[in-house]
Chains A and B, each alone.
Chain A
C-alpha cells in the first residue's frame, strides 16, 4: 500500500496534466480560427519568432553543416568521399538536424521568453485585467503565439537548411578541396522533395510544442517571481524533451516502411 500510493498519485497527476494540456491547447487552437483576430499581436509574434530568431538558428545551422562535412570526411575518406559527404550533409540537415536543432534553439529563446512574459502577466494580474476588459486571454495571448510557432518555424528551418548545406559546402570546397560543381551536383541529386517536406512538417510541430509549452507553463504559473522562474525552466525542459520524443515519432511516420 505504502509503496503503491506515491506511484498512483504520480500517475494520476500525470494524467491530470495531460488532460489539462489537451483542454488548454484545444481551446487555444479553436481561437486561432474564430474571430476576432488580433492582427497586430500575431504579426508581432511572427516577427519575434521568425525574424529575430534567424541569427541564432542560422549560426547553429552554419556550424552544424560545417561539422557534418568535417566529421563525415573522416569516416568516408577512403571511399568516394565527395558524393557521400554531400549526401550526408544535405540529408541530415533537411531531415533531422535543421528542425531538431532549430526547435531546440527556439525553445531556449522563445519558449523561455513566452513563459516568463505570460507568467509575469499572470502573477501581476494582467491576465485577470484582460478578462475584465472582455478580452479572452487564450485568444489574445496564446492563440497568436501558437499560430506564429506553427507557421514561422518551418520558414526558419527552411532557411537553416540552406545555410547548413552552405556550411558543408564551405568546408568541402575550401578545406577538403573538392570540386564545387561536383559537390553541388551531388547535393542536388541526392535531395528529394520528401526530405525537405518532412523536415518542415517536423519544424511546424516543434514550433507548436515550443509555443504551447511556453504559454501553458506561463499561464499556470503561481507564486510570484519564483513561480515565473520555475515556469520558465519547465517550459524549456518540457519543450526540449517533447521535441526529441516527437522527432522519433514523426521520423517513424515518415520513413518507416
Chain B
C-alpha cells in the first residue's frame, strides 16, 4: 500500500436493477482527508453509489478499493472490519426506532464496546449538542422527533465513533436555512479540522460549495465532470452549468410531459 493510495478508488463500477441500468461504469477517487460532493439529478443513482461503496449493495462489475484494499466480495467478517472506518448518514436517517435517541447516537461505540453505557451517553449528548440538539432530546424515541431532528440525530450517529470516512446523503435536506448552515459548518469542520475523508450527496449548491474541496457530477450512470469546487462556475460542461443554475432546458432531459 503506497502512501499516495487514495482513500476510496472506484473503477468501472456498474450496477443495475433488473434491466434498469443505474451505474454504468463509475470512476471516482477520493484522497485522504478530501471532501468530495456528488451532485446529480434525482434518481440518477447517487445513493446507490454510496451503498455500493459501503457493501450494502453488491455491484455487478468494477472495482472498489478502500485504502488500497479491494472490498468487493469481502467475507462478512472482513467487511465488518472495513466498515469500522465508515460513518454514514442515510437519506432517510434510518434511526433505530426501538432505541432512544442517545442509544442511536452511541450505537457504534456500544457495539464495539469502546465505552461504558454511562460514558457513551455522555458522548452522545455531546454529539447531539454539536448538531444543535439539547440533552432533553437524548431520552426521546425517534418517533417523537421531527424530520429535521431525525436527520440531525442521524448525523450525530454517523460522526459519533469518529470514523475515518464519512458519507452524508443529503445532510441538509429538510432543514431550515440557518440550521443548514450550522450543519455545513459542522461537516466542513469534521473534514478539514479532524481530517476525516468525506463523500457527500447534496442538491443544495450553497452547501456543496461550502463543504467540498471537489465536486463530481453524475449523469446517466457515469461521472460526467469532476473538478475543484472553485472551478465549478467555469467548468465548461453543459450538464454542470444546467444543474448549478437549475435550468429546465439543457442536455439533461427530465422525463416530464406537460
Contacts and interface: CB of A to CB of B under 8 A. Distances in A.
Interface of A: 36, 117, 120-121, 124-126, 128-136, 140
Contacts of B107: 133, 135
Interface string B104-133: 000110011100000000000000000000
B112 A132 contact: no
B94 A134 contact: no
B42 interface: no
Contacts of B113: 36
A147 B219 CA distance: 47
Given A128-B51, A131-B54, A134-B108, 9 more contacts: A124-B92, A125-B90, A126-B95, A128-B94, A129-B90, A134-B80, A134-B83, A135-B111, A136-B80
A131 B56 contact: yes
A130 B51 CA distance: 13
19 contacts: A117-B98, A124-B94, A126-B95, A128-B56, A128-B94, A129-B90, A129-B96, A129-B157, A131-B54, A131-B80, A132-B83, A132-B86, A132-B87, A133-B83, A133-B108, A133-B111, A133-B161, A134-B80, A134-B112
Contacts of A133: 83, 107-108, 111, 157, 161
Nearest to A34: B77
A11 to B, nearest CB: 23
Contacts of B157: 129, 133
Interface in B26-80: 51, 54-56, 76, 79-80
A124 B76 CA distance: 22
A210 B14 CA distance: 39
B224 to A, nearest CB: 27
Nearest to B84: A134
Contact-residue size bin, chain B (C-beta under 8 Å from the other chain): 20 to 34
B111 A126 contact: no
B83 A131 contact: yes
Interface in B222-237: none
A130 B95 CA distance: 10
A216 B51 CA distance: 22
Interface string B138-165: 0000000000000000000100010000
A132 B157 CA distance: 11
A176 to B, nearest CB: 49
Contacts of A129: 88, 90, 94-96, 157
B238 interface: no
Contacts of B55: 131
Nearest to A36: B113
Nearest to B76: A136
A121 B95 CA distance: 9
A36 B95 CA distance: 22
A132 B88 CA distance: 7
Of listed A120, A121, A134, A135, residue having the most chain B CB within 10 A: A134
A130 B54 CA distance: 12
B97 interface: yes
A42 to B, nearest CB: 14
Contacts of B84: 134
Q: Which of A117, A120, A132 has the most CB of B within 10 A?
A: A132
A126 B107 CA distance: 12
Nearest to B113: A36
A126 B83 contact: no
Contacts of A140: 111
Contacts of A125: 90, 92, 94
Contacts of B108: 133-134
